[in-house]
């Protein structure tokens, strides 16, 4: 077991250096928006700003997550203004919170000399992530990922401190209660992880009546808010929203498919080969210390590598068989080796295997290192089921974005734990630190375009200044909307937009904020048809394409629907209807006309 957490001078210096790195990245990413006319950032900015305007999620507009971020960002926007600057402050607040909590959590996992490297890895990946778990920028598909991670980590730290009898029990209980409330209200994955963590903690801690009181104060605040929301917006509307309007149940990524099992075998094969490769110079020490276990690792390493390479080849058949140059092929194949998902898949499945092993051990030993690791592992393991064998975005194993921060600090822990198990002669800490920092630097170099200013131009808006990469045609569209509407005029920026609404501070008349990658129930579609007739938008901004760029699909168009209980190689049930047209789209086509076409977008105005 690692010694109790210490806060010496060296630890403070590491923390200072880590925060300095975070501050530089936050400054480089400040108020940068990759696209004003489309995508995740403008979508959630617009959604949360509707709360600042007095609207309620689930009742007045669609919101596919629990309510914490809608209310937190919405109320902050109401107090400080719904501006890009305010949003940057809020995003950075939660980003710094996640990093600080991760640093605290690493005290329970790795030696002091590895804490900076582990957290630097998290910061580097988070700062350069293209869509999933992002830090220090708007480029995250929902800030609920950051708030949920912070809440789960705060709760987890309180539990670990109690198990080690470290600090005040009352203060630790307050950490658990506050963190649990935030996590339960942020995202369904974090809610599940929190409930699993509380139940496991009660089992491990063994103080029946005290644990019951702790669970009550941890769950009650969220339960009361959900009860109030159900009465305010309607129970069915609340349930529809939290379940993603059907998105949560249409697929079953926990059900094995042929290609999914192949991907899992590839992850284990990759992990076994890396362990054998890194331990090879000290193989005699490992054989002496681990015996038959290490011999199996060495025996399975080459077959594991072959399985991994075969899986990579299967995923890149088009690139491999194309007539492209060797360099062009390498560029297309490289992400299958170095992007976040292939790097973290072995960590995720190692976490699952370790959790199951330790859970069996906990039946006879509930204290010490076993209990601590079980508590830490239960969070990512319980959240990982939604991507075991596929996801709404693909048919191959994936990593849930909610798991990213936990797996990024568990990866260095697992590697250090393995390398340090053989002999003090093995330089486990330098090896792991070099890998973590090296990969982090590689990510920063690869994501330099996100940190540089060259690809962004400043745009002044009613919501303040913002730097955007789609300056053309965004500036022309923004100026047209600002000049031809007043603050009280309705504007519809569709589909999966909202950037023009947020930047120009114009209200949106309809309920469905997506109209893309979501099969929202019919009753909401009819509601939007009535809403647009009652409050016709003065202008509509949409893609200049069939059906104005809308689609009727859960996730990316393809075969993603659940095939359980059938056994298939790949899912074969469609998750979309290519012929479906929203009633709203038909209405717009017959009641609006184009007035400006620019950069693949069209601006429409009423016929009369």
Beta bridge partners of 220: none
pLDDT digits (tens, 9 = 90+) for 205-231: 888 889 899 999 999 999 999 999 999
Per-residue confidence band for 397, with pLDDT thresholds at 50, 70 and 90: very high
Q: Would you say 405 and 133 are in contact if contact means Cβ atoms under 8 Å apart?
A: yes
Percent of the chain with pLDDT over 90: 83
pLDDT band, very low/low/confident/very high, at 398 (cuts 50, 70, 90): very high
The answer to whether 169 and 211 are in contact (CB under 8 A) is no
408 burial via Cβ count (<10 Å: 0-12, 13-18, 19+): buried
Cβ atoms < 10 Å from Cβ of 419: 21
Asked if the model's pLDDT at residue 363 lies above 80, the reply is no
pLDDT tens for residues 511-520? Answer: 999 999 888 9
* Residue 414 predicted with pLDDT over 80: yes
In angstroms, rounded to a whole number, what is the distance separating the alpha carbons of residues 131 and 437? 22
In 176-224, beta strands by DSSP E: none
**Sorting pLDDT into bands at 50, 70 and 90, what band is 404?**
very high
How many Cα atoms sit within 13 Å of 578 on the Cβ side? 4
Of 3 and 199, the structure prediction assigns the larger pLDDT to: 199
Distance in angstroms (rounded) separating the CA atoms of residues 112 and 433? 11
Question: What number is the average pLDDT over the span 148-173?
Answer: 94
Radius of gyration of the chain (CA): 25
Structure tokens belonging to residue 177: 């209660």
Q: Higher-confidence residue: 327 or 362?
A: 327
Mean pLDDT of the chain: 93
Alpha helices in 384-521 (DSSP H): 404-419, 428-446, 448-451, 471-484, 499-504
Is the pLDDT reported for residue 143 higher than 90? yes
Average pLDDT of the residues in 438-465: 93
In this structure, are residues 371 and 204 in contact, taking their beta carbons and an 8 Å threshold? yes
Give 564-590 pLDDT, tens digit per residue: 999 999 999 988 888 999 999 999 999
User: pLDDT per residue over 100-110, tens digit each?
Assistant: 999 999 999 99
Q: What is the percentage of the chain residues whose pLDDT exceeds 70?
A: 98
Q: Is the pLDDT of residue 93 over 90?
A: yes
Distance CA 167, CA 150 (A): 20
Position 554 pLDDT exceeds 90: no
pLDDT of 406 reads 97
Q: Check whether 3 has a pLDDT greater than 60.
A: no
Per-residue model confidence (pLDDT) at position 461: 97
Rounded distance between C-alpha atoms, residue 464 and residue 487, angstroms: 15
What's the pTM value of the predicted model, to 2 decimals? 0.94
Q: How many CB atoms neighbour CB 168 within 10 A?
A: 10
Mean pLDDT of 5-18: 80
Compute the C-alpha angle 57/62/66, nearest 5°.
Answer: 55
Question: Does pLDDT of 5 surpass 60?
Answer: no
The angle at the Cα of 276, spanning 271 to 281, to the nearest 5 degrees, equals 145
Res 258: pLDDT: 96
**At 606, phi and psi to the nearest 5?**
-60, 150
Mean pLDDT of 435-459: 93
Of the listed ranges 170-174, 243-247, 568-572, 580-584, the one predicted with least confidence: 243-247
* pLDDT band for position 472 (cuts 50, 70, 90): confident
User: What is the band of 130 on the pLDDT scale with cuts at 50, 70, 90?
Assistant: confident
Quote the CA–CA distance of 16 and 126 in Å, as a whole number. 19
- The CA-based angle 377-380-386, given to 5 degrees, is 140
Confidence band for 328, pLDDT divided at 50, 70 and 90? very high
Residues 245 and 515: their CA atoms lie apart, in Å, by: 12
Q: Are 269 and 304 spatial neighbours (Cβ–Cβ below 8 Å)?
A: yes
Which of 22-26, 162-166, 206-210 is the least confident region?
A: 206-210
175 pLDDT band (50/70/90 cuts)?
very high
pLDDT confidence tier of residue 1, bands split at 50, 70 and 90: very low
Number of H helices, E strands in the chain: 26, 7
Per-residue pLDDT band for 555 (boundaries 50, 70, 90) equals: confident
Q: What value, to the nearest 5°, has the Cα angle with vertex 90 and ends 106 and 477?
A: 130
User: At 427, is the pLDDT very low, low, confident or very high (cuts 50, 70, 90)?
Assistant: very high
The terminus-to-terminus CA distance of the chain in angstroms comes to 75
For the record, the structure tokens of 541 come out as 């901004």
The alpha carbon of 307 is separated from its chain's Cα centroid by a whole number of angstroms, namely 28
pLDDT reported for residue 2: 52
Across the range 418-441, mean pLDDT stands at: 95
**Quick one: which H or E segment has residue 591?**
helix 583-591
How confident is the model over 298-316, as a mean pLDDT? 96
Q: What's the confidence (pLDDT) of residue 393?
A: 82
């Amino acid at each position: 077991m690692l010694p109790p957490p210490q806060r010496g001078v060296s630890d403070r210096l590491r923390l200072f250096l880590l925060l300095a790195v975070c501050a530089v990245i936050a400054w480089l990413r400040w108020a940068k928006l990759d696209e004003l006319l489309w995508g995740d950032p403008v979508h959630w900015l617009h959604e949360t700003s509707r709360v600042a305007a007095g609207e309620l999620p689930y009742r007045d507009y669609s919101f596919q997550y629990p309510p914490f971020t809608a209310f937190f960002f919405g109320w902050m926007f109401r107090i400080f203004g719904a501006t890009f600057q305010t949003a940057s402050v809020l995003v950075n607040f939660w980003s710094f919170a996640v990093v600080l909590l991760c640093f605290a959590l690493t005290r329970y996992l790795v030696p002091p000399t590895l804490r900076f490297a582990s957290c630097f890895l998290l910061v580097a990946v988070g700062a350069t992530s293209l869509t999933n778990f992002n830090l220090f920028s708007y480029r995250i598909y929902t800030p609920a990922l950051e708030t949920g991670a912070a809440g789960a980590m705060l709760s987890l730290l309180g539990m670990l401190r109690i198990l080690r009898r470290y600090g005040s029990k009352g203060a630790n209980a307050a950490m658990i209660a506050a963190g649990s409330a935030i996590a339960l209200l942020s995202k369904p994955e974090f809610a599940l992880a929190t409930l699993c963590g509380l139940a496991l903690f009660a089992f491990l801690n063994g103080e029946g009546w005290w644990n019951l009181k702790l669970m009550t104060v941890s769950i009650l605040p969220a339960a009361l808010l959900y009860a109030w929301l159900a009465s305010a917006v309607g129970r069915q509307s609340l349930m529809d929203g939290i379940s993603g309007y059907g998105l949560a149940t249409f697929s079953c990524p926990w059900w094995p498919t042929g290609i999914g099992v192949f991907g899992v075998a590839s992850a284990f094969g990759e992990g076994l080969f890396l362990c054998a490769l890194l331990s090879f110079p000290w193989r005699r020490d490992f054989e002496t210390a681990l015996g038959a276990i290490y011999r199996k690792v060495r025996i399975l390493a080459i077959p594991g590598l072959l399985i991994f390479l075969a899986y990579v080849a299967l995923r890149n058949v088009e690139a491999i068989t194309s007539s492209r140059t060797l360099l062009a092929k390498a560029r297309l194949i490289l992400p299958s080796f170095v992007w976040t998902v292939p790097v973290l898949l072995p960590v995720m499945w190692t976490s699952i295997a370790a959790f199951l092993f330790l859970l069996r051990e906990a039946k006879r030993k509930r204290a010490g290192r076993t209990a601590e690791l079980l508590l830490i592992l239960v969070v990512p393991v319980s959240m990982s089921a939604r991507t075991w064998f596929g996801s709404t975005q693909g048919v191959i194993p994936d990593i849930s974005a909610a798991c990213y921060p936990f797996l990024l600090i568990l990866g260095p822990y697992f590697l250090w734990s393995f390398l340090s198990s053989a002999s003090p002669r093995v330089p486990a800490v330098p090896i792991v630190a070099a890998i973590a920092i090296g990969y982090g630097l590689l990510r920063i170099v690869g994501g330099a375009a996100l940190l540089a200013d060259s690809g962004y131009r400043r745009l002044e808006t009613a919501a303040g200044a913002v730097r955007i990469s789609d300056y053309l045609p965004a500036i022309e569209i923004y100026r047209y909307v600002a000049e031809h509407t007043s603050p009280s005029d309705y504007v519809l920026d569709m589909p999966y937009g909202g950037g023009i609404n947020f930047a120009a501070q114009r209200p949106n008349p309809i309920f469905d904020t997506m109209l893309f990658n979501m099969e929202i129930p019919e009753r909401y579609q009819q509601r939007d048809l009535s809403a647009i007739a009652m409050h016709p938008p003065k202008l509509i901004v949409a893609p200049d394409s069939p059906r104005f760029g809308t689609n009727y699909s859960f996730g990316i168009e393809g075969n993603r629907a659940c095939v359980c209980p059938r056994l298939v190689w790949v899912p074969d049930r469609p998750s979309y209807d290519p012929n479906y047209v929203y009633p709203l789209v038909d209405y717009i086509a017959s009641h609006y006309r184009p007035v400006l076409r620019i950069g693949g977008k069209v601006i429409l105005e009423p016929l009369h």
